[in-house]
Amino acid sequence: MSPIVLYTIISLSATGIAAAIILFIIAQRFKVIEDPITDLVEEALPGANCGGCGYAGCRNFAEACVKSDKLTKLFCPPGGNETMLEVATILGKEAVEKDPLVAVVRCSGSFAHRARVNQYDGAASCAIASSLYAGDTGCQYGCLSHGDCVRVCEFDAIHMNPETGLPEVVDEKCTACNACVEACPKDIIELRKKNKRDRKIFVSCINQDKGGIAKKSCSVACIGCGKCEKVCPHDAITIENFLAYIDPVKCKLCRKCVPECPTDAILEINFPPKKQKEEETKPDNNGETKVEPVETDKLGEESKSE
Amino acid sequence: MFKTFRPGGIHPSENKLTAGSTIEELPVPEQVSIPLNQHIGAAPKVLVERGDQVKVGQLIARGEGFISANIHSSVSGKVLKIAAVVDMSGYKRNAISIKVDGDEWVEEIDRSPELITEIALERQEIVQKINQSGIVGMGGATFPSHVKLSLPRGMKVKYLIVNGAECEPYLTSDHILMMEKADQILVGATIIMKALDVEKAFIGIENNKPDAIDHMSDRAQHYPGIEIQGLRVKYPQGGEKQLIKALINREVPSGGLPIDVGAVVFNVGTLFATYQAIQKNKPLFERVVTSTGKNLEKPGNFMVRIGTPISALIEACGGLPENTGKIISGGTMMGKALNSLEVPVIKGTSGLLVLPEAESRRKEMQHCIRCSKCITVCPMGLEPYLLMAFGERELFERMEEEKATDCMECGSCNYICPANRHLLDYIRLGKVEINKIRRLRKN
């Protein structure tokens, strides 16, 4: 072996050993002592790093769980109650149950319902469009259809429907992480209580204009007429600024408000068609709902509340 | 020798179709709606109620807080309603609608055309009067003028810089004002000089208006301390930082104000309004608006009451041409596309531009080819392509490090980009997000 190779091996090894010693000393000196339980908690979390809990990622959330005395203010939306229960058992703390939520798009102003009064040809982003102007329809509150909510979703749970130009939520995939709610510059998306069989009743409009103006810009806008408020037996509906809002907690899904709405702004989703009996008691509801007899046990909750 | 600013700048085709057409009084419309949010800052408090009779020049909304401005009625008549109307951005904002009945002015306003050069008021009184008259920056930024004149303690102004550059294509409202109201502007400058206690004022005028340079220079001889300086045609020379650089060769530090280099900038339109407020007791309720477009029958410069719907302006120009694709409030570069013809003229409306369909579309966006033209033209020395890349990836903190907030949204980068990239859109988005981040940091 020529000496040059030998010297190289010796000098490199010496450098390596010296570096190893220095690194070892530094590692010992500046060691961060972490609670090993944090790793366990992190493992229990979904690991989506969606930020729905309000922390930068799952690791931060795990740290916060370990540090805090109570878990009352901490919640992992994608994991839900099961995950939180698991975290609570690891930490020996009390779990707090929360109603599962689901994202709901409160705008029905599809291309057919809302006339386009101008054309936007700028960057395809709701945030940019809304910073420039009110939008390409007469409704300043409605969906801009550029899909910021779709882009931020980590769970592939919201898609743009090219026919209507509105986003649609896939209930099974939605974890209520709040990302789309924050991304929407118009505050159209809301997290509402998840009901059995993904049933939903909500006012699919956030237009706060007076009835006439609202109706002019969109045929399915809430005009704030107050008919639904009057008919609601559970005081779940309030009207503010010419806009009805159904409280998801108070609402018992009785569906009495739905046929009352003159503009079809209240949507009922995942319900079986209405019973024959109900149809007969309300002959004045234009026969819009399909008349098909349904077994009572399928109706579940609303039959209970009536 | 014509001065200009460095770095950056572009030279879009000027299209000053209305240069030379005199200021025409636009007839008072049947109804005006005067928006409350006409200026930067807090919305003023409404002083009138539905059914009240108001006169021209009557105070109808009082500024709330320091950065705010008074609003005066531009017509005489009856207050119809105080309700939301569609504003420039398409959003509905509160406005006072007045049904016009006759043209009765408040008695204090001196309506004689006589020029008054003697300044009777003291420094403090001038600032107070400007505040009362609701004067805001009329170059487009609509920043309340009295705030500019209330200097922080210890600050000393050396120069008054007057913007007569009018670098925006198409617009000629400042040009015609300098031609017709030169003396009034110069007296206005003298008033501001007195209020700020400065000895020297520079009025910068681009050399595509040689008649204005000659006329103003001629008149300025009678006013001590005011110097007219011709400027090389370059957009955005009317930006205050660019104008300061061009005229006194000073650079305003990043995030700073002109006062940091001892300058205060006023637009010629604002000076004319100042003259009217101080010497004629006339608050700001009308302004010169250029109504222009290649296909308009008779484009022109009009004296318009605030609150007049733009449809009335277009009517005065011979109606809307058939192939109209876009109507812009302002010029081609910084103007805002409107989505209603009922949008009222406000204190900051310098022009109205009707573009044909063929010119009103953006071209398709392509990939960045790293030609660095945007960097060359950026008057603030920023890197627009990089800012856009950060904006697309939502790296707003990186955008802040790259000084995105220095961007004044002149649109030079968008204009020059051979790939038609939406550079400014993303920078604008970044500025909004950076401000949000900063507010969070403060709390």
Q: How far apart are CA B184 and CA B280, in angstroms?
A: 11
Across the interface, whether the CB atoms of A125 and B429 are under 8 A apart is answered yes
Q: How far apart are CA A142 and CA A205, in angstroms?
A: 8
Looking at 3.40.50.11540, 3.40.50.1360, 1.10.275.10, 3.40.50.300, the CATH number of the domain B123-280 comes to 3.40.50.11540
Nearest-CB residue to B361 (from A121, A132, A134)? A121
Give me the pLDDT at residue B340, please: 86
Fold: same for A36-91 and A101-191? no
Mean pLDDT of B104-110: 90
Q: In this structure, what DSSP letter does residue B201 have? A: E
Nearest-CB residue to B425 (from A117, A128, A136)? A128
Mean pLDDT of A221-248: 90
Does A140 lie at the interface with B, CB-CB under 8 angstroms? yes
What percentage of chain A reaches a pLDDT higher than 70?
A: 89
Residue (of B17, B27, B22, B15) closest to B301 by Cα position = B22
B153, B155, B158, B163 alpha-carbon torsion, rounded to 10°:
-90
Give me the pLDDT at residue A292, please: 45
Mean pLDDT of A273-279: 56
Across the interface, whether the CB atoms of A133 and B336 are under 8 A apart is answered yes
Q: How far apart are CA B410 and CA B7, in angstroms?
A: 14
Q: How far apart are CA B357 and CA B353, in angstroms?
A: 13
Q: How far apart are CA A67 and CA B229, in angstroms?
A: 67
Mean pLDDT of B223-237: 93
pLDDT band per the 50, 70, 90 thresholds, residue B96? very high
Q: How far apart are CA B372 and CA B40, in angstroms?
A: 34
Comparing alpha-carbon positions, the chain A residue that sits nearest to B432 is A131
- For residue B196, count other CB atoms closer than 10 A to its CB: 23
Residue B29 has pLDDT above 80, yes or no: yes
Mutation target among B94, B390, B422, B435 for the A interface, most CBs of A within 10 A: B422
Give me the pLDDT at residue B228, please: 94
Residue A175 has pLDDT above 90, yes or no: no
Nearest-CB residue to A121 (from B90, B339, B362)? B362
pLDDT band per the 50, 70, 90 thresholds, residue A35? confident
Does B434 lie at the interface with A, CB-CB under 8 angstroms? no
Distance (Å) from the alpha carbon of B159 to chain A's nearest alpha carbon: 35
Across the interface, whether the CB atoms of B429 and A122 are under 8 A apart is answered no
Q: Could you tell me which residues are beta bridge partners of residue B329?
A: B336, B352
Comparing alpha-carbon positions, the chain B residue that sits nearest to A126 is B429
Mean pLDDT of A108-136: 87
In chain A, what residues touch B361 (CB-CB under 8 Å)? Answer: 121
Write down the mean pLDDT value for chain A: 84
Does B358 lie at the interface with A, CB-CB under 8 angstroms? no
Comparing alpha-carbon positions, the chain A residue that sits nearest to B336 is A132
Class of domain B26-100: mainly beta
Which residues of chain B from 58 to 87 reach within 8 Å of chain A, CB to CB?
84, 86
- Name the packing angle between helices B182-196 and B173-180 (round to 10°): 90
Residue A281 has pLDDT above 90, yes or no: no
Across the interface, whether the CB atoms of B339 and A125 are under 8 A apart is answered no
Mutation target among B85, B339, B357, B364 for the A interface, most CBs of A within 10 A: B339
> Both tokens of residue B133?
């008259």
Give me the pLDDT at residue B86, please: 86
Q: How far apart are CA A78 and CA B148, in angstroms?
A: 52
Give me the pLDDT at residue B285, please: 94
Higher per-residue pLDDT: A302 or B226: B226
> Both tokens of residue A266?
């209240």
> How confident is the model over B138-184, as pLDDT tens digits?
987 889 999 989 888 888 899 999 999 999 999 999 999 999 999 99
> Both tokens of residue B384?
């627009």
Domain A36-91 matching CATH 1.10.10: the answer reads: no
Give me the pLDDT at residue A95, please: 78
Mean pLDDT of B274-290: 93
Cis peptide before B236 (omega within 30 of 0): yes
Q: For residue B388, give the H/E element and its range.
A: helix B384-392
Does B428 lie at the interface with A, CB-CB under 8 angstroms? yes
Q: How far apart are CA B119 and CA B195, in angstroms?
A: 11
Domain ranges across chain A: 36-91, 101-191, 195-306
Q: Is B31 helix (H, G, I), strand (E, B) or coil?
A: strand
In chain B, what residues touch A125 (CB-CB under 8 Å)? Answer: 425, 429
Mean pLDDT of A233-261: 90
Nearest-CB residue to A131 (from B361, B362, B429)? B429
Comparing alpha-carbon positions, the chain B residue that sits nearest to A128 is B429
How many residues are present in chain A?
306
For residues B157 and B262, is the Cβ–Cβ distance under 8 A? yes
Residue A286 has pLDDT above 50, yes or no: no
Does A78 lie at the interface with B, CB-CB under 8 angstroms? no
Q: How far apart are CA B88 and CA B90, in angstroms?
A: 6
Q: Could you tell me which residues are beta bridge partners of residue A190?
A: A104
Q: What 3 state SS string does chain A have? A: CCHHHHHHHHHHHHHHHHHHHHHHHHHHHCCCCCCHHHHHHHHHCCCCCCCCCCCCCHHHHHHHHHHCCCCCCCCCCCCHHHHHHHHHHHHCCCCCCCCCEEEEECCCCCCCCCCECCCCCCCCCHHHHHHHCCCCECCCCCCCCCCHHHHHCCCCCEEEECCCCEEEECCCCCCCCCHHHHHCCCCCEEEEECCHHHCEEEECCCCCCCHHHHHHHCCCCCCCCCHHHHHCCCCCEEEECCEEEECCCCCCCCCCHHHHCCCCCEEEECCCCCCHHHHHHCCCCCCCCCCCCCCHHHHCHHHHHC
pLDDT band per the 50, 70, 90 thresholds, residue B287? very high
Mutation target among A117, A119, A144, A154 for the B interface, most CBs of B within 10 A: A119
Residue A299 has pLDDT above 70, yes or no: no
Across the interface, whether the CB atoms of A125 and B92 are under 8 A apart is answered no
In chain A, what residues touch B432 (CB-CB under 8 Å)? Answer: 127, 131
Q: How far apart are CA A33 and CA A49, in angstroms?
A: 23
Q: Could you tell me which residues are beta bridge partners of residue B352?
A: B291, B329
Distance (Å) from the alpha carbon of B340 to chain A's nearest alpha carbon: 9
What percentage of chain A reaches a pLDDT higher than 90?
A: 28
Higher per-residue pLDDT: B284 or A295: B284
Q: Could you tell me which residues are beta bridge partners of residue B100?
A: B77
Does B426 lie at the interface with A, CB-CB under 8 angstroms? yes
β-pair type (B92-100, B31-35): antiparallel
> How confident is the model over A124-153, as pLDDT tens digits?
899 999 888 888 888 889 999 999 999 999
Across the interface, whether the CB atoms of B91 and A131 are under 8 A apart is answered no
> How confident is the model over B345-399, as pLDDT tens digits?
999 999 999 999 888 888 899 999 999 999 999 999 999 999 999 999 889 999 9
| Amino acid identity, position B256 | G
Domain ranges across chain B: 26-100, 123-280, 286-359, 373-442
Alpha carbon A265 to its chain centroid, in Å, reads 20
Q: How far apart are CA B436 and CA B14, in angstroms?
A: 37
Q: Which residues contact A20 (CB under 8 A, 6 or more apart)?
A: none
Across the interface, whether the CB atoms of B89 and A135 are under 8 A apart is answered no
Across the interface, whether the CB atoms of B90 and A128 are under 8 A apart is answered no
For residues B90 and A140, is the Cβ–Cβ distance under 8 A? yes
Across the interface, whether the CB atoms of B362 and A122 are under 8 A apart is answered yes
Comparing alpha-carbon positions, the chain A residue that sits nearest to B88 is A133
Give me the pLDDT at residue A305, please: 40
Residue A296 has pLDDT above 50, yes or no: no
Q: Could you tell me which residues are beta bridge partners of residue B136?
A: B144
End-to-end distance of chain A based on CA atoms, in angstroms?
96
Does A125 lie at the interface with B, CB-CB under 8 angstroms? yes
Across the interface, whether the CB atoms of B422 and A128 are under 8 A apart is answered yes
pLDDT band per the 50, 70, 90 thresholds, residue A155? confident
pLDDT band per the 50, 70, 90 thresholds, residue A300? very low
Mutation target among A131, A187, A208, A213 for the B interface, most CBs of B within 10 A: A131
> How confident is the model over A53-108, as pLDDT tens digits?
888 888 989 988 888 888 888 888 888 888 888 888 888 888 778 888 889 999 99
Q: How far apart are CA A81 and CA A75, in angstroms?
A: 8
Write down the mean pLDDT value for chain B: 92
Looking at 3.30.450.20, 1.20.1270.360, 3.30.390.50, 3.30.70.20, the CATH number of the domain A195-306 comes to 3.30.70.20
For the stretch B46-49, contacts whose Cβ atoms lie closer than 8 Å and that sit 24 or more positions apart, written own/partner, are B46/B82, B46/B94, B46/B96, B48/B79, B48/B82, B48/B96, B49/B79, B49/B82
Residue A289 has pLDDT above 60, yes or no: no
For residues B66 and B298, is the Cβ–Cβ distance under 8 A? no
What is the spatial order of strands in the sheet that B45-46 belongs to?
A: B45-46, B59-62, B71-72
Residue listed under structure tokens 């809002």:
A245
Does A121 lie at the interface with B, CB-CB under 8 angstroms? yes
Mean pLDDT of A154-160: 90
> Both tokens of residue B362?
């953006």
In chain A, what residues touch B90 (CB-CB under 8 Å)? Answer: 133-135, 140
For residues A155 and A179, is the Cβ–Cβ distance under 8 A? no
In chain B, what residues touch A140 (CB-CB under 8 Å)? Answer: 90-92
Nearest-CB residue to B90 (from A125, A128, A134)? A134
- For residue B325, count other CB atoms closer than 10 A to its CB: 15
Does A128 lie at the interface with B, CB-CB under 8 angstroms? yes
pLDDT band per the 50, 70, 90 thresholds, residue A167? very high
Give me the pLDDT at residue A275, please: 60
Report ipTM for this prediction.
0.84
Domain B286-359 matching CATH 1.10.3720.10: the answer reads: no
Domain A101-191 matching CATH 3.30.70.20: the answer reads: yes
B260 Rama sector, left if φ>0, alpha if ψ -120 to 50, beta otherwise: alpha
Task: Annotate B307-370 with DSSP letters as a single string.
Answer: T-BHHHHHHHTTS--TTEEEEEES-TTT-EE-S-TTPBP-TT--EEEEEEGGGS-PPPP-----
Across the interface, whether the CB atoms of A132 and B89 are under 8 A apart is answered yes
